[in-house]
Structure 1
Amino acid sequence: MSDITAAIEEGAKKSSILWLTLDRPRLAWHAWHDGAIYLVTGGEEQRLPGLEALERVHVTLRSKDNGARLVEFDAAVSVVDQAAAADAVAVLAKERLNARDSEHLTERWARESVVLRLSPETAESSQTG
C-alpha cells in the first residue's frame, strides 16, 4: 500500500466528513468501506449538486482534531446499486446520525436518494502490472 493510499484510508476512517470540489467546495459526511468512500445525496439527505453526473471529483480530507489538510486526491464517481451493495449501504446508514427514521433509512434512500462510491485514484491504482 502506498503512502498516499494509506493516508486516504486513515483520514477517511478517522473523520466522517470530507470536502468535495463541486460548484463550490462542499462539506459532506461519508463512510469508508471496502477501499472506497460512500456517501448519499438527494431526498432529505445532503445536497451535493451535480456529483452523480461526474466521472471524477476532487476530495480533501482534513484532520478531525485540528482541521489541517491531511490529503487531497481525485476519485472516480459511480452510482451504487443499493440492493447489490447492501453491506456498503448498511455501513453508511450506521454513520448517519440523527435521522428521523433510522429504522427505515435504507428504504427511504432506495426511494429518494442516490448512494455514490468514490474510488480514490492514486498513482498506485493507475499503474498496470
Structure 2
Amino acid sequence: MSLALIEEGARKSGILWITVGGRDLAAWHVWHEGAVHVVTGGGEQRLPGLAEASRVRVTLRSKDNGARLVTFDATAEVVDQASPSAAGALALLAKERLNAVDAPGLLTRWAAESSVIRLTPDVAD
C-alpha cells in the first residue's frame, strides 16, 4: 500500500476509525506531512487509550457513501504541542474544528487539557 493512496483517502474522509485495544473509535482528523493527526481529551473527542498506544489500525471511509477506502497500521505518538514543528498540524486541526465555543483560545486549551496524536502509516517505500 502506498502513502499516496493513504493520503488521498485521508483527504477524502471526514472521519476515520481508529482501532485501539480492540475498540473501533470514530474521530475527525487532518492530514499533514505524511500522517493523520487527531485531538483527544480536554473537552474534545474521547479516544480512550489512544494517547497511551504505540500502534493502532486506521480505517478510512468515503464521505459520500461510507464505503471503506483503505485500512492501514500506524505508529501513534503524542505530539509536543510546544514544538515549532507542531505548528502546521495544530493550525490545520484548529481550522477543521467545528463549533468550537472558544475558538480564539482553542490552542491554549489543547496545550493545557488535550493530546494531539500523530498517526504515521506503516508503508514500504
TM-score, L = length of structure 2 = 0.93
State whether structure 2 residue 117 is matched by structure 1 residue 119. no
Contact 2:18 2:26 in 1 (8 A): yes
Per-residue deviation, 1:119? 0.3
Per-residue deviation, 1:15? 1.7
2:103 corresponds to = 102
Per-residue deviation, 1:5? 1.7
Per-residue deviation, 1:58? 0.3
Distance, in Å, in 2 between the alignment partners of 1:14 and 1:120 is 16
2:64 corresponds to = 65
1:91 corresponds to = 92
1:19 corresponds to = 17
Question: % of aligned pairs identical?
Answer: 64
Aligned-CA RMSD value: 1.1
Contact 1:93 1:106 in 2 (8 A): yes
Post-superposition CA distance 1:35-54 (Å, at most 9, x none): 11111000100010011111
Q: List structure 1 segments (4+ residues) > 2 angstroms apart after TM superposition.
A: none
* Structure 2 counterpart of 1:35, one-letter code: G
Post-superposition CA distance 1:27-80 (Å, at most 9, x none): 000000111111100010001001111111000001111110010000100110
TM-score, L = length of structure 1 = 0.90
1:7 corresponds to = 5
2:53 corresponds to = 54
- Segments of structure 1 that go 5 or more residues without pairing to the other structure are 125-129
2:38 corresponds to = 39
- Segments of structure 2 that go 5 or more residues without pairing to the other structure are none
Per-residue deviation, 1:87? 1.7
Distance, in Å, in 1 between the alignment partners of 2:58 and 2:92 is 20
